[in-house]
Amino acid sequence: MATQTKTRHISHSRVSEFLRCPKKYHFHYRLQIPPAFMPSALIFGIAVHEAIALYQQRRLEGSRTSEEDMLETFCRRWDSEELPVRYGKNEDEKSLFEKAEGIVRAYLEDPCEAGEPLAVEEKINVRLRKDLPPLRGRIDLLERTGEGDAVLTDFKTASSRRSQDPGQLVLYREALRLLGYPGAGKARLRCVVLLKTKKPGVEVQQLEAGTGELEKLMSLYRETWEAIESGASYPRPDWHCQGCQWSHVCDQG
Ligand code: SF4
């Protein structure tokens, strides 16, 4: 019988996974059962993210990055994947590499910089509220504009131009405020969407969070944390099951 692992921290990805399907959370985080495969969209997003992170890291250090360096980073991450990649409809390795090239070129043409970089891929581990365990995460990019305003950016790979949810950045802004980053409490939030569309491209979305959004998220996190602590592991079967990496051990798969 698999041993259960208890967690003492919370993260945006864990909460999202539990809300999508508590049973999947159970297999992944409590029992730590290895997934059966890697969805191509996931490994593509991770590898593109690493290429962009290289660009930002070099920028922080005051140097530049070439297209070749970024594509090499993409390929290195892709090649290091040990799980078999499961491709989507009309996709294969070649077509995805071409999309990665298109995204990197579009990004280098316009890297959508908001100001001077202050932090890149910065790990955070901070207790946002007394009744929650520490929030762990990693911010993609924090910049300061010429006017002295802070701008917090998340990079996301997407296959369409749909609007991105500001929730994760609202939490990270609060975390940075508590950690004492100057001006972080009023940071503007934006998502740079790396479009995996037929013609790859880059789109900047300014994200607005309504009044009370942070407290709404805190309530949701509190309820979810209580459910996680209670050991809830019921299945929530829906269309996600066909792409579920744990369907091989789930009786709903
Ligand atoms: S197959 Fe469906 S019900 Fe089972 S763990 Fe995956 S998403 Fe949840």
Nearest of 156, 48, 49, 64 to residue 101 by alpha carbon: 48
Q: State phi, psi for 237 to the nearest 5 degrees.
A: -70, 135
Is 252 touching ligand 1 by the criterion CB < 6 Å?
yes
Q: Show contacts of 92-99: CB within 8 Å, 24+ apart.
A: 96/40, 96/44, 99/44, 99/196, 99/200
Q: Is 200 helix (H, G, I), strand (E, B) or coil?
A: coil
Provide the CA 116 distance to its chain's centre, in angstroms.
22
Q: What is the pLDDT along the chain (253 residues), one digit of tens a residue?
A: 566 767 789 999 999 999 999 999 999 999 999 999 999 999 999 999 999 999 999 999 999 999 999 999 999 999 999 999 999 988 999 999 999 999 999 999 999 999 999 999 999 999 999 999 999 999 999 999 999 999 999 999 999 989 999 999 999 999 999 999 889 999 999 999 999 999 999 999 999 888 899 999 999 999 999 999 999 999 999 999 999 999 999 998 7
Q: Domain coordinates of the chain in residue numbers?
A: 29-110+239-249, 116-228
Tokens 């007394």 locate to 130
Tokens 């991770």 locate to 46
Q: Is 61 helix (H, G, I), strand (E, B) or coil?
A: coil
Element (H, E) at 59: helix 40-60
Q: Checking DSSP bridges between strand 116-126 and strand 85-86, what pairing results, if any?
A: unpaired
116-228 folds as: Lambda Exonuclease; Chain A (3.90.320)
Is 78 touching ligand 1 by the criterion CB < 6 Å?
no
Instruction: Note the pLDDT of residue 2.
Output: 61
Name the residue with the closest Cα to ligand 1, atom 7. 241
Is 23 touching ligand 1 by the criterion CB < 6 Å?
yes
List 206's β-bridge partners, or say none: 190
CA of 247 to the centre of ligand 1 (A): 6
Apex CA 35: angle with CA 32 and CA 39, to 5°? 140
Provide the CA 85 distance to its chain's centre, in angstroms.
19
Is 240 touching ligand 1 by the criterion CB < 6 Å?
yes
Q: Is 46 helix (H, G, I), strand (E, B) or coil?
A: helix
User: Encoding tokens for residue 125?
Assistant: 């581990």
Provide the CA 137 distance to its chain's centre, in angstroms.
9
User: Encoding tokens for residue 114?
Assistant: 């908001």
Tokens 């300014």 locate to 206
Q: At what angle do helices 93-109 and 67-79 cross, to 10 degrees?
A: 150
The one-letter code for the residue type at 223 is E
Q: Give the torsion sign (CA, 41, 42, 43, 44).
A: positive
Q: Is 152 helix (H, G, I), strand (E, B) or coil?
A: strand
